[in-house]
């Protein structure tokens, strides 16, 4: 696993490590005050109730993930989320990784409360369907994240492989239906993160997370997905922007959808 300190990175070295492993961690890219601000914004959002088309909490539901569901495309209604998605520090790293101008395609915020299921191993570009090429995720930790509270695992080297046809995940462990078993000879590696760290990873990299098994720790994180300016098609769900905020429509690719097809709730809620 490649973990590097932000202050010691040379752009060429960063890109080389990313190309070798399919992912890299930039430590302390955001400050503690910034991540606390971001958490406060989404805590207030949760307290205020639903945002149609983006966020629909069910306060009385026994499932922690339905009481605290992920927030989809928050940059479309939150100026703070938009600010983080288009942050110049992310842009600087992403332009090195892509080797060209980048476009923002999606934002998400995960609360992942204690007891919440994870998301089975998967590949992001299975959902975004960027053509040609792939997407890159920037995964910002808003608090300490490790295996105990459902941190991410990655399978190094899978970014050099094609998209796999997913199997059905275990509903008791994953909120999403798709599961990509690690290819023969490759093993998932955990990625522990501190507040302000950002994990960047290739859209073909197999990754996922287990349940949050902690008693009282959330696993709040903010995720952006990005594509290179040379991308010609993407799923209709992903409305691309320049890092200055101008809309750049791309033709629609086939077979795309939101990042993770959720299991259908059983019974009344």
Q: Which residue has the tokens 């990005």?
A: 226
* Overall average pLDDT of the 210-217 stretch: 98
Answer yes or no: are the C-beta atoms of 214 and 220 closer than 8 Å.
Answer: no
Q: Where are the domains of the chain?
A: 3-242
Fold of 3-242: Jelly Rolls (2.60.120)
pLDDT on residue 11: 62
Distance of CA 153 to the CA centre of its chain: 12
* Overall average pLDDT of the 108-129 stretch: 98
Number of H helices, E strands in the chain: 6, 14
What pLDDT, in 10s, does the model give residues 84-107? 999 999 999 999 999 999 999 999
What pLDDT, in 10s, does the model give residues 7-55? 445 567 778 889 999 999 999 999 999 999 999 999 999 999 999 999 9
């Amino acid at each position: 696993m490649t973990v590097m300190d932000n202050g010691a990175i040379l752009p060429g070295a960063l890109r080389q490590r990313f190309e070798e492993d399919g992912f890299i961690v930039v430590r302390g890219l955001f400050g503690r005050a910034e991540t606390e601000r971001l958490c406060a914004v989404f805590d207030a959002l949760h307290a205020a109730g639903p945002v149609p088309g983006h966020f629909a909490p069910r306060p009385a539901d026994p499932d922690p993930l339905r009481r605290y569901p992920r927030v989809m495309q928050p940059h479309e209604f939150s100026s703070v989320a938009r600010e983080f998605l288009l942050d110049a520090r992310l842009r600087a790293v992403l332009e090195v990784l892509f080797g060209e101008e980048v476009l923002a395609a999606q934002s998400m915020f995960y609360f992942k409360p204690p007891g919440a299921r994870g998301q089975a191993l998967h590949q992001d570009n299975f959902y975004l369907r960027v053509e040609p090429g792939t997407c890159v995720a920037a995964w910002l930790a808003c608090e300490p994240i490790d295996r105990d509270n459902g941190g991410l695992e990655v399978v190094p080297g899978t970014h050099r492989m094609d998209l796999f046809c997913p199997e059905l995940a275990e509903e008791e462990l994953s909120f999403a239906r798709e599961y990509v078993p690690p290819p023969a000879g490759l093993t998932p590696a955990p990625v522990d993160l501190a507040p302000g760290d950002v994990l960047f990873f290739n859209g073909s990299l197999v990754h996922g997370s287990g349940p949050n098994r902690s008693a009282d720790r959330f696993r709040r994180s903010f995720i952006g997905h990005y594509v290179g300016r040379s991308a010609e098609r993407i799923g209709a769900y992903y409305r691309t922007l320049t890092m200055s905020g101008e809309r750049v429509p791309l033709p629609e690719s086939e077979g795309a959808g939101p990042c993770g097809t959720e299991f259908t709730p059983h019974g009344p809620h």
